[in-house]
Amino acid sequence: MLGLAKGRYSARLAREDRDLEAAQRLRHLAFRGSEGIDSDVFDAVSDHVIVEDVSNGTIVCCFRMMPFKDGASIQSSYSAQFYELSALERFKSPMVEMGRFCIHPDYRDPDILRVAWGAMTSYVDDNGVELLFGCASFAGTDAASYADAFAMLKAKHIGPKRWIPQIKAPNVFRYASRLRRRPDAKKAMLRMPPLLRTYLLMGGWVSDHAVIDTDMNTLHVFTGVEIGRIPPERKRLLRSVLA
């Protein structure tokens, strides 16, 4: 069962309505920059993970995990609103959609991300998950400001043809077909969102286009991590938090 700690932070599943509301308030603060509640229909069918600062009880990070027994019902996922995912309907093993990942804007401690990924690893292990997927977001909708990051995704991280999502959203940036630049690796990694950077370090892959989401003021790419393909050293690092 999920439940771990490192330093002043601990992670657990939301247990009560007030836990979920606190997570929704953090999401609104992180995504909208103001007080309020960020909620949608997917909250009711997801498990919610929260990371707390045990010194004061503040929720400093949260995300949700929406499980599927296989790909047959992937069209009911959050990501399916933006991506044509029929190829992944053929995926025959348990999968989980990780979404609404955010960290409190007043916190910068790297231990938060370590605890969060330890919690994700525990959830994946406990549920026999073979594919972790979701939308990884860049802040803002100016694709040009992330040119090197997108060029890096094109050069090294486009997903396999058998699984890759097709275009569904009306407003997209087709970086794989339109970019003609060689990425500056240092600039690319500096501009890569921390969540996506971690996915890529685990051997994750991305869609060949980014969705321009004006409502959330983000650019996001579909991201998949096949658990069996995570490099052994990376698996050891992820599980080291659980020890």
Please write the tens of the pLDDT for every residue from 121-175: 999 999 999 999 999 999 999 999 999 999 999 999 999 999 999 999 999 999 9
pLDDT the model gives residue 189: 94
Residue 90: how many other CB atoms lie within 10 Å:
12
The residue extents of the domains of the chain are: 64-240
Distance of alpha carbon 155 from alpha carbon 152, whole angstroms:
5
Q: 228-241 burial by CB neighbour count: b if 16+ within 10 A, else e?
A: eebeeeeeebbeeb
- The pTM (predicted TM-score) of the whole model is 0.93
Distance (Å, whole) CA 104 – CA 193: 15
